[in-house]
Amino acid sequence: MNTGMQRFGECLNRIKTAVELGTPDRPPVVLQMSAFAARHMGVKLADFCASPALSNETIIKSAQALGGVDGVTLMMMNPKVLSMESLSEVQVPGIELGPDDMWQVHETERMTPEDYDAIINMGYTPWLMGQYIPKNFGNLMASLGPMFGFAPTAGKNVVEAGFVPFAPLAAISPFQTFMGGRSMVKFNRDLFRMPEKVLEAMDVAQKDVLANVRKLIGMAHPFAIMTPIGRASGLFYSREKQEKFIFPHYRELVETIVECGAYAALHVDDNFERDLDFFRTLPKGKCIFQADSTTNIFKLKEALGDHMCIMGDVPATMLALGTPDEVHAYATRLIREIGPSGYILSSGCDVPPNAKVENVQALVDAAKG
């Protein structure tokens, strides 16, 4: 009978083989689930968000109940951490919202044009921790402290249960954080009105982002670091704007993660079909393209299948509104046409909170068939 650690070793080998473009014994299944896990296990979202230990336990139990899951992207959940990543207000169930309401990110203009100068003159971290967060979110770090403190135990619990903590940490490029703090409309206006100042502030912030990445990997030794990129594709920006404000910092971030010994989980919430050539400039066999069902995953296979692992992309709509047969058929098609090498079966982005348990089970079962 497999112990948790024996199972962990098998799952780790399965996932690592896929990431490095090999062919594992079967397609690995990695799920990014938070609110779904709570509802699957009958835990109110207010309680789930308030306790790192409970959210960690709930995610593990949900994965165990599904059977056949190899890894979980998240080890626990406190939605307030999204304020650090997006520079936006996050409303949480049980506090600003009802006890079982889904948390919400409210992107409004909190960062001002004058903040670009403050970042340039002060440095990004002093500005963020000394000015921006206290002004906009009060004592945010006090509410996040228990989660940060519990992180080593959460990781240990996931591993001992036999699962791989796939990408438990995130690194966000300045483009993404600035857009959240300024709001998308105001930020895009800045790119035309004061492009050089925005770029200078982003360059300053990038130094601290990379330094933090090196520190985190050195301390935590994660399997992968999640690197979100969204609202950044050709649907939103010209290639000229991408090459100036988006791609250089994102490439440097990914390269730094790889140089420090982790894989880069490219959490792509957007349609990048026009710009798939950019992803070929990232380190081969060291990145995972986490498709969210917006970029056509079959075009991804054609363009990147020999260069990086592809992960996804059973749609949220199918998991919430479809039938088990539909999910199983689509997941099986993914395994056959995107796999068997260099492929991880997963949902498109997060497993939605209203996904039917039998549909998520059908996804997992497809990998075992």
pLDDT band at residue 4 under the 50/70/90 scheme: confident
Look at residue 369 in the predicted model and tell me its pLDDT: 80
Q: Report percent pLDDT > 70 for the chain.
A: 99
Question: Which residue segments constitute the domains of the chain, with CATH numbers given?
Answer: 4-368 (3.20.20.210)
Question: Minimal CA–CA distance to 167: which of 227, 230, 210, 103?
Answer: 227
- pLDDT score of 288 more than 60: yes
Look at residue 186 in the predicted model and tell me its pLDDT: 97
- pLDDT score of 5 more than 60: yes
Strand order in the sheet with 71-72: 30-31, 71-72, 164-165
> pLDDT tens digits for 294-340?
999 999 999 999 999 999 999 999 999 999 999 999 999 999 999 99
- pLDDT score of 87 more than 80: yes
> pLDDT tens digits for 166-209?
999 999 999 999 999 999 999 999 999 999 999 999 999 999 99
| HEC string for the chain | CCCHHHHHHHHHHHHHHHHCCCCCCCCCEEECCCHHHHHHCCCCHHHHHHCHHHHHHHHHHHHHHHCCCCEECCCCCCCCHHHHHHCCEEECECCCECCCCCCEEECCCCCCHHHHHHHHHHCHHHHHHHHHHHHHHCCHHHHHHHHHHHHHHHHHHHHHCCCEECCCEECCCHHHHHHHHHCHHHHHHHHHHCHHHHHHHHHHHHHHHHHHHHHHHHHHCCCEEEEEEECCCCCCCCHHHHHHHHHHHHHHHHHHHHHCCCEEEEEEECCCHHHHHHHCCCCCCCEEEEECCCCCHHHHHHHHCCCCEEEEEECHHHHHHCCHHHHHHHHHHHHHHCCCCCEEEEECCCCCCCCCHHHHHHHHHHHHC
- Which pTM does this prediction carry? 0.96
pLDDT band at residue 2 under the 50/70/90 scheme: low
- pLDDT score of 112 more than 70: yes
> pLDDT tens digits for 115-146?
999 999 999 999 999 999 999 999 999 999 99
Question: Average pLDDT, stretch 61-88?
Answer: 96
Q: Provide CB contacts within 8 A for 248, sequence distance 6+.
A: none
Look at residue 3 in the predicted model and tell me its pLDDT: 83
| Chain mean pLDDT for the chain | 97
Question: Minimal CA–CA distance to 103: which of 75, 83, 133, 132?
Answer: 83
pLDDT band at residue 150 under the 50/70/90 scheme: very high
> pLDDT tens digits for 200-225?
999 999 999 999 999 999 999 999 99
How far is it, in rounded angstroms, from Cα 188 to Cα 241? 10
- pLDDT score of 82 more than 90: yes
